[in-house]
């Protein structure tokens, strides 16, 4: 079934606002987390330089306390926005499907399961309220980390994108050789963690070469430890992406259907 990709955002309707807000608060939470790490790294650098009793330490701890509450509020808000997005997408879709069914002159309950089934709406809602914001946030977080690493040390910043590129090439080659998704996923964490390890090694060598300060080096290490190294522990559900896309494709096909025609429209 061909899917009109341009129609996808239209399925979001009111949910678009919540998806944007969800990504935004998660990014603020990430920024607050990085601010906290900055405060910790600065304190440790100040300790090394003998400024432990200075205003710097106090400022760092105040920044860390502020960041702590911002992160708390952002996590709570993110979940609310995700639920609101899911509800808005579901309501909007039901409404549009009912209206379309009326226009086609068919009863909603009588729609053939092959064209549209009950789970399509919830799968689409899950895709737009959870999977899509996750994907946008992951890209945004990677970009943020890249910019921060660039500010700290550009050589260190290049390691992770290089590792990600190698990972993509390996997956593409394996896909070409007909390997299973399960086998490919085996190699994703290995690239991920090796990339993180190589980034740490690079920043250590840069510290040795006096190209980066202690706080810069500590920031890179702590950011990776907080945001990248635990990443793989979270369950990945590779099936939810194609299932969500397939469900939205079926809904779009149904909504684009013309009276008297049974085939799918593009």
Partner 1 sequence: MKHSVRKIMNRLKPLHGRMTRSFFMKLLGYLCGTMIPVLAGYAILQIIGHSKNLSLGLLIAGIVICALLKALMEYEVRKSERNIALQIPSLLMEQPENKEDMEVLQDFFSHTFSLCAVAAVHSVVIVILLCRYHMLTALLALSSYLVTGVVLPYLHVLRYGGSEEETEEDEALEEMDLLEEREEEQLVNSRAEALMTLLTSLFVIMMIIAVILLYRQGTMVYEGALITVVAFMSSFVPLKDMNRHLNAAADLTDIISRLPDQAEKESAS
Contact residues toward partner 1 (CB under 8 A) are 36, 40, 43-44, 47-48, 52-53, 57, 61, 64-65, 67-69, 71-73, 75-76, 78-80, 82-83, 86-87, 91, 185-186, 189-190, 192-194, 196-198, 200-201, 204, 207-208, 214, 217-218, 221-222, 224-226, 229-230, 232-234
Task: Give min distance, CB of 106 to partner 1, in A.
Answer: 26
CB-nearer residue toward partner 1: 86 or 252 = 86
CB-nearer residue toward partner 1: 33 or 249 = 33
CB-nearer residue toward partner 1: 129 or 253 = 129
SS3 letters across the chain: CCCCHHHHHHHHCCHHHHHHHHHHHHHHHHHHHHHHHHHHHHHHHHHHHCCCCCHHHHHHHHHHHHHHHHHHHHHHHHHHHHHHHHHHHHHHHHHHHHHHHHHHCCCHHHCCCCCCCHHHHHHHHHHHHHHHHHHHHHHHHHHHHHHHHHHHCHHHHHHHHHHHHHHHHHHHHHHHCCCCHHHHHHHHHHHHHHHHHHHHHHHHHHHHCCCCCHHHHHHHHHHHHHHHCCHHHCCCCCCHHHHHHHHHHHHHHHHCCCCCCCCCCC
Task: Give min distance, CB of 222 to partner 1, in A.
Answer: 6
Task: Give min distance, CB of 204 to partner 1, in A.
Answer: 5
CB-nearer residue toward partner 1: 74 or 252 = 74
Contacts of 94 (CB under 8 A, 6+ apart): 121
Rounded CA separation 195/220 (Å): 13
Task: Give min distance, CB of 236 to partner 1, in A.
Answer: 9
CB-nearer residue toward partner 1: 2 or 47 = 47
CB-nearer residue toward partner 1: 197 or 241 = 197
Give the CA angle between residues 191, 193, 197 to the nearest 5°.
115
Contacts of 131 (CB under 8 A, 6+ apart): 240, 241, 244
CB-nearer residue toward partner 1: 103 or 161 = 161
Task: Give min distance, CB of 89 to partner 1, in A.
Answer: 12
Task: Give min distance, CB of 82 to partner 1, in A.
Answer: 7
Task: Give min distance, CB of 142 to partner 1, in A.
Answer: 18
């Amino acid at each position: 079934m061909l899917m009109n990709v341009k129609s996808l955002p239209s399925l979001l309707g009111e949910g678009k606002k919540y998806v944007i807000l969800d990504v935004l608060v998660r990014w603020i939470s990430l920024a607050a987390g990085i601010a906290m790490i900055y405060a910790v790294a600065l304190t440790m650098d100040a300790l090394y330089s003998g400024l432990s009793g200075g205003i710097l330490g106090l400022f760092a701890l105040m920044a860390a306390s502020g960041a702590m509450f911002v992160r708390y509020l952002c996590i709570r808000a993110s979940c609310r926005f995700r639920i609101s997005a899911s509800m808005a997408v579901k309501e909007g879709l039901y409404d549009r499907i009912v209206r379309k069914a009326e226009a086609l002159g068919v009863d909603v309950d009588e729609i053939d399961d092959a064209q549209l089934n009950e789970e399509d709406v919830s799968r689409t809602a899950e895709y737009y309220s959870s999977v899509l914001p996750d994907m946008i946030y992951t890209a945004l977080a990677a970009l943020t980390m890249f910019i921060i690493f660039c500010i700290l040390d550009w050589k260190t910043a290049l390691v992770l994108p290089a590792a990600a590129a190698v990972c993509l090439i390996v997956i593409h080659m394996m896909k070409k050789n007909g390997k299973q998704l399960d086998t490919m996923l085996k190699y994703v964490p290995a690239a991920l963690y090796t990339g993180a390890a190589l980034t740490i090694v690079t920043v250590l060598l840069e510290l040795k070469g006096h190209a980066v300060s202690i706080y810069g080096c500590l920031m890179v290490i702590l950011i990776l430890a907080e945001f990248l190294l635990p990443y793989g522990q979270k369950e990945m559900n590779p099936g939810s992406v194609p299932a969500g896309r397939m469900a939205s494709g079926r809904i779009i096909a149904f909504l684009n259907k013309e009276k008297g025609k049974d085939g799918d429209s593009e």
